[in-house]
Amino acid sequence: MKTAEKHGVEPGSYLSELCPSLSDWILSSKSDNTNRSYFNAYRRWEVFIKAQGHSALPASPIHVALYLTHLLQTGSSQHPVNNDVYAIKWAHECAGFTDPTKNSYVTSLQEAAKRKASRAINKKEPISKDVLIELCDKYIDDSDLLIVRNLTMILFCFAGFLRFDEVSSLKFKDVHVYDEYIVLNIQKSKTDQYRQGNEVLIANGVTSACPVKMYLRYLDLLGIHSLRSGGATVAASSNVDDRCLKRHGRWKTDSAKDGYIVDSIEKRMLVSKSLNL
């Protein structure tokens, strides 16, 4: 608002009323996680520079350079240095101030952080399909739901080249099963900044490590009945009105409804407790 007023926007005018929306739209240009990361990094910078008696916003390029020097001398690596630079840049752009990070001192210190952190990258050896087949063979007759779920996630990652955050975000509605393959709808990804979504096709396999067969095995163990029963049981335990419960579950009779509800130990004990023996 203060920036707008400096450019002739009068308080109470229509342009003034647009200022909050302007801020919201600017923030939406980055993901929520990025905004959160930048905000926290900016707060660290603000606390540091105010303790030295100087302004955080707008900031002087030499003060930013001295802050980065402080980070390097206290052991910070390349990532936090760069993140703080981007955060300071982001805050100034949001407020309409000149970017103090466009300075030769700042860029030189970023390069210094990169050189300081440079070391040989030790990449992990890729997992072979033989290892996965051996793992799936070991648990081929296992009915433990968590084990089969984990195997499904592992095989999805292997066959679909998925990151962990991609596979862990999958919901049942994102997985579509066809005769010869399945389709995974990746709703969000590190490389999909605009959330357009991506489809990953995984074909049927011929070994125990087939992702399609493992997913179907997981569904069989999970059981749609158990989900319906679980929901009804939780609702009943929360003392939902019996008539509403039956209507919600589309059961015509009490006996049909009762077949899906498992009474808890606590509720069953209430019968004998009521006798006050």
Contacts of 167 (CB under 8 A, 6+ apart): 153, 156, 157, 160
- Residue 176 in 3-state DSSP? strand
pLDDT of residue 2: 64
What average pLDDT does range 28-32 have in this prediction?
80
pLDDT bin (cut points 50, 70, 90) of residue 151 is: very high
For 15-44, letters b (16+ CB in 10 Å) and e give eeeebeeeeeeeeeebeeebbebbeebbee
pLDDT at 145: 82
Total-model pTM: 0.49
| Res 159 pLDDT > 90 | yes
95 inside domain: yes
**Confidence tier at 117 by pLDDT (50, 70, 90):** low
Q: Coil, strand or helix: which one is 14?
A: helix
Q: Is there a single domain that holds both residue 110 and residue 149? A: no
Q: Does residue 25 belong to any structural domain of this protein?
A: no
More confident residue, 265 or 5: 265
Residues 215 and 134 in one domain: yes
In a domain, 251, yes or no: yes
In this structure, the answer to whether residues 151 and 97 fall within a common structural domain is no
Give Rg (Cα) of the chain: 29
Q: What percent of the chain has pLDDT over 90?
A: 45
CATH at 67: 1.10.150.130
DSSP 85-137: HHHHHHHHHHHT---TT-SHHHHHHHHHHHHHH-----PPPPPPHHHHHHHHH
Long-range contacts of 178-186 (CB under 8 A, 24+ apart): 180/204, 181/212, 182/211, 182/212, 182/215, 184/156, 184/160, 186/162
What total of structural domains would you count in the chain? Answer: 3
Residue 8 lies in a domain: no
Same domain for 201 and 157, yes or no, is: yes
The answer to whether the beta carbons of residues 261 and 236 sit under 8 Å apart is: yes
Query: Encoding tokens for residue 261?
Result: 């509800």
- The answer to whether 110 and 81 are in contact (CB under 8 A) is yes
CB 58 within 8 A of CB 92: yes
Give the domain extent around 149: 129-220
